[in-house]
A = this chain, B = another copy of it.
Amino acid sequence: MSDVAVGLDVGGTKALALLVSRDGEILDELRSSTPHDAQEPAGVATAKVLVSQIETLAQRHGLDPVTLPIGIGMPGMVRRDGRLAFAPNLHSASGASFPELLHDLLGACAVHMENDGNCAALAEFAWGAGQGIDNFVMVTLGTGIGGGIIANGELVRGQNGFGGEIGHMAVEARGALCGCGGQGCWERYASGGGLARLTTQWASEGRLPTLTSRRGSAANVSGEDVTRAASEGLDEAVALMNEVAWWLARGLANLVAILDTGHFVIGGGLSVAADLLLPPARDYLADLVFGYAKRPQIVVTTSRLTVHAGALGAAKVALDRQP
């Protein structure tokens, strides 16, 4: 039984590999770009990168890759058997079975797959901002919204392993189109992508006059411009961030009604704007949560493990599933 594991967090642009001890300590760390090679069969290019990361970490620490538990967090729908059923942000790997690919490239190793949002939830539950909280939801605000649900002290994987795709809960039934093919998905309103979409819309409607004048045209105004200007107190930018915060609270309130979650851990790239988003979102919850006054204070906090959460959780899965 190994006391260390490799945790891999594979995103649309890069892959993070960590060597992790049983108590969640990060012993080593590697970053690589994620290839998008459509010439090779699904996932092969990605698998080669991961194998190289695993071999590098093993070599540096005098470990045998074949006895090292390996966990992989992937964006998209990861089946319980390890196949990546559907990955809108990692098309070249969609449909691939990474346990099989890694076996072919590395030999008889123990590979465990999990959705990246679920990995982050497991890591925060074990070692982060959800430690000891038996009912909480991890919400990762990136280009989209991912997440993972802990209920009764366990991850909610659901029937197939696809649980926690909270970003594709519709909050506006006939609302904005989403990359998933749906309409009105939460992530079109309250993620980095949602901020970008609302920025374009507000700018084209003349509701961001100062930023439009600074950037020369409405089309040039970006979500980053809004975040920066809001942190400097520009009213029009603060108003837009409040709009995003309202949508964030709208989705959180839905999760409170469904799951009676009293605790949210917010991670992902947009969480750098936490100071702008979370205080108004907490205020909006009072209006949006069913039976708000009859509940204890709802906690909305930021991730403690930040960019490492996904890879740490992947390592945790691998450590926990050792025979």
> Which A residues are within 8 Å of any B CB, using their own CB?
77, 85-86, 135, 149, 151-152, 154, 156-166, 168-173, 175, 180, 182, 185, 247, 250, 253-255, 257-263, 288, 290-291, 294-296
With A151-B156, A152-B152, A170-B171 already in contact, the answer to whether A162 and B250 are too (CB < 8 A) is no
On whether the beta carbons of B173 and A291 are closer than 8 Å, the reply is no
With A158-B151, A263-B159 already in contact, the answer to whether A291 and B170 are too (CB < 8 A) is no
How far, in angstroms, from A168 to B288 measured CA to CA in the complex? Answer: 10
Copies of the protein in its oligomer: 2
On whether the beta carbons of A296 and B151 are closer than 8 Å, the reply is no
On whether the beta carbons of A258 and B258 are closer than 8 Å, the reply is yes
With A77-B294, A294-B77 already in contact, the answer to whether A260 and B173 are too (CB < 8 A) is no
On whether the beta carbons of A86 and B169 are closer than 8 Å, the reply is no
With beta carbons under 8 angstroms apart, the residue of B149, B257, B261 that contacts A168 is B257
Residues in B whose Cβ lies below 8 Å from that of A180: 290-291
Residues in B whose Cβ lies below 8 Å from that of A182: 288, 290
With A77-B291, A170-B254, A257-B166 already in contact, the answer to whether A262 and B159 are too (CB < 8 A) is yes
What residue in chain B is nearest A136 (Cβ atoms)?
A: B159
**Could you write out 27 A-B pairs with CB less than 8 Å apart?**
A77-B291, A86-B294, A135-B159, A149-B259, A151-B151, A152-B154, A152-B156, A156-B260, A158-B261, A159-B260, A159-B262, A159-B295, A159-B296, A160-B262, A161-B260, A163-B258, A165-B291, A166-B257, A166-B258, A168-B290, A170-B250, A170-B253, A170-B288, A172-B172, A172-B173, A180-B291, A255-B258
